Structure 1
Amino acid sequence: MKIDNSVKSSGQVAGDNKTRAAREPSSSPVQTSGGGTQVALSGKLDQLVAQAPVVDGAKVDEIKQAISNGRFQVNPEKVADGLIESVRQMLSAQPQSA
């Protein structure tokens, strides 16, 4: 597998925690031009984005190098466990229907 190195890293992550934390949640209603529909944003999306992990550029570069050198090995059991845990979290977050 060939890795495309055409994207250059500046060493900074665009959405670091400082930037995310500085954003204020928007709660102002938005009017559409057609029918006067209002949408109020609760700030929930901003909270979720602020909690998202920041990408470790050094770790990404390390993994890219391991892949290109043929040293990167996938642990299928760990991948499967992670997928199952993700599905469990998504299912538990859904409202229960009667």
Structure 2
Amino acid sequence: MKINQTGKPLPPSSNGESTARSPAAKSGPAGAGTAIAPDSTRVHLGTTGAQLRELESSIASAPVVNSQKVSEIKQAISEGRFQVNAEVVADRLIDTVQDLIRTSTR
């Protein structure tokens, strides 16, 4: 049994990989009346962005679980009415392995 992906990928960032804050005046005796240089308030999100893309990819490839179907199968097993068709299981396992081989060679 194959499960189709239903998750949607995250939208791309609209502000790029880095963002600059506007300079702000310091308060207190050490910085009275002085402004912070614009370069010192720059925030770089390069590694964070890459980590988020990696996380998105792993979430998108995670299987979706149908908890109702799982409950039905558990109930059938506990009642002794769940039957496994070995031929169907073998055929679908072979299909899955072939799909994995095809996607890994691309």
Structure 2: state its 5+ residue gaps. 1-5, 14-44
**Superposition deviation, residue 79 in structure 1:** 0.6
- CA shift, 1:93, in A, is 1.4
Residue equivalent to 1:76: 86
Superposed, 1:7-22 pairs within 5 Å as 17=7
Cα deviation, residue 52, structure 1: 4.1
* Structure 1 stretch displaced more, 44-53 or 58-67: 44-53
Bigger Rg, which one: 2
Rate the CA distance shift 1:28–1:79 in 2: closer, same or farther, 3 A. Answer: farther
Q: Deviations over 1:12-61 (max 9, x none)?
A: xxxx94xx756879x8327xxxxxxxxx4582552352254421111111
Aligned residue in 2 for 1:29:
47
Q: State the TM-score, normalized to the length of structure 1.
A: 0.50
Letter of the 2:100 partner, please give it: M
Q: Confirm whether residue 87 of structure 1 aligns to residue 97 of structure 2.
A: yes
TM-score (norm 2): 0.47
- Unpaired runs of at least 5, structure 1: 1-15, 31-39
RMSD: 3.5
Read off the aligned partner of 1:77 and give its amino acid letter. E
CA distance in 2, matches of 1:48, 1:89: 18
Give me the identity figure in percent: 42
SS of residue matched to 1:29:
helix
The AA in structure 1 aligned to 2:94 is I
Q: Name segments (4+ residues, structure 1) moved above 6 Å.
A: none
